[in-house]
Amino acid sequence: MMAVPFTDLAAMTGEVWPSIQTEYLDCLLSGKYIGGPAVTSFEHEWAAYCGADYAVGVANGTDALELSLTALGIGPGDEVVVPANTFIATAAAVVRAGAIPRFADVSDDTLLITPATLSEVITPRTRAVIVVHLFGHLQDMTGLLAVAADAGIYVIEDAAQAHGAEWDGRRAGSLGDAACFSFYPGKNLGAFGDAGAVVTSRPELADRIRTLANHGREGGVLHYEHAYVGTNSRLDALQAILLSGKLAFLDAWTQRRIALATRYRELLEGTGLRLTSVPPPASHVYHLFVVRVAGRDQVRAGLARRGIQAGVHYPVPCHWQPPLRQFADHPLPVAEQAAGELLSLPMFPHMTEDQVEYVCEALNDVLADSSAEPELIDAQ
């Protein structure tokens, strides 16, 4: 039996480590761990990669979202639209900023928010929408930006899963007022722990976020002078060194993810599993390779018996999580249905074609196995 892990972070570290080890150890021995040239240089590289003017390194993707909202002046009494199909951090950041999350349903084909589902939940109190490029995929940004512009609301990209993904040739991070990235270890660009960044082309917003993330120190120069009550959410130098090192590999790793996804798509055709569609002009970076299947939990267990680790993103729709139920004021049928069917298959740059083939054979076996009794979903 072949073992197929869900991901393999150590393989990425092994590839990048030779190119960073001297700088990493020098920094470790220098005793200078907060801020400094490694952080500044990664911020410049990351902004340039995303096609934006500024990047501000922060402690994680959740802080990136909360800081962006606060820096845009969003707080008590304001509403922020978030898709119902997302990780809890998207909506939690809105609550932590003091505002109200308004959940929007998602497309049955892409599982992402659409101009129509966004329009449905905009009210006079709406100040922003957080567009989540879930799984590594941007959809109809042209339409979403137009709806937001008409309504006079900010667009914040939650690009935690979409490093390098594009809409019509523009990278995630270059489309909204601000874009929030997570560099959690398992992300396409991942640190040796928690890390994140806000990317924007608005200088005043970048300054404000940098100040808020550094205990309200304006300009970050005077250590004990604080213009605002901020927080402590900074990117560490050691993480920045690793992220710069990994950035040199990111495009190759993304191409590998795309090749593996193409192979999955070929092999899964005709199995009855439902795949998300990627209509142009989007390019998907396959942070996750997600299929939909009824009887998902049995299918996942069948894969586990065959040595394959699959994930579920996410088993409970965001608005059904206990602390967020108070904001769930209308049914969100697509997200609610999908949550019971989503299955994330193994996907990582160092995965082999043999492993993809083994996963697909195993899936066929499990689906044929009467003990699993999955009720297949028709692809539309």
**Shortest CB 90 distance to ligand PLP, Å:** 5
User: CA torsion 319→322→323→329, rounded to 10°?
Assistant: 40
Contact status: 209 vs ligand PLP (CB under 6 A): no
Which one of residues 24, 46, 54, 87 is an interface residue with ligand PLP (CB under 6 A)? Answer: 87
Give the C-alpha separation, 64 to 54, whole Å: 13
Give the C-alpha separation, 196 to 371, whole Å: 44
Which one of residues 68, 70, 85, 86 is an interface residue with ligand PLP (CB under 6 A)? Answer: 86
Contact status: 110 vs ligand PLP (CB under 6 A): no
Nearer to ligand PLP, 92 or 268 (CB): 92
User: Mask: binding to ligand PLP, 170-189, rule CB under 6 A, as x and -?
Assistant: ------------x-x-----
Which one of residues 101, 196, 230, 295 is an interface residue with ligand PLP (CB under 6 A)? Answer: 196
**Shortest CB 287 distance to ligand PLP, Å:** 8
Q: How many CB atoms lie within 10 A of CB 87?
A: 18
Contact status: 211 vs ligand PLP (CB under 6 A): no
What residue spans of 51-129 are helical by DSSP H? 61-71, 88-96, 115-121
Contact status: 239 vs ligand PLP (CB under 6 A): no
Nearer to ligand PLP, 140 or 194 (CB): 194
In the complex, residue closest to ligand PLP by CB: 61
Give the C-alpha separation, 85 to 231, whole Å: 29
**Shortest CB 307 distance to ligand PLP, Å:** 26
**Shortest CB 66 distance to ligand PLP, Å:** 10
Q: DSSP letters of 180-226?
A: EEE--TTSSS--SS--EEEEES-HHHHHHHHHHTBTT-GGGT-TT--
Nearer to ligand PLP, 87 or 358 (CB): 87
**Taking Cα atoms as reference points, which of 188, 160, 186, 187 lies closest to residue 173?**
160
User: Mask: binding to ligand PLP, 54-73, rule CB under 6 A, as x and -?
Assistant: ------xxx-----------
Q: Are 164 and 172 in contact (CB under 8 A)?
A: yes
Contact status: 139 vs ligand PLP (CB under 6 A): no
> Hey, what are 370's tokens?
């009467």
Give the C-alpha separation, 331 to 192, whole Å: 39
Residues of this chain that bind ligand PLP (CB under 6 A): 60-62, 86-87, 89-90, 132, 134, 158, 160-161, 182, 184, 194, 196
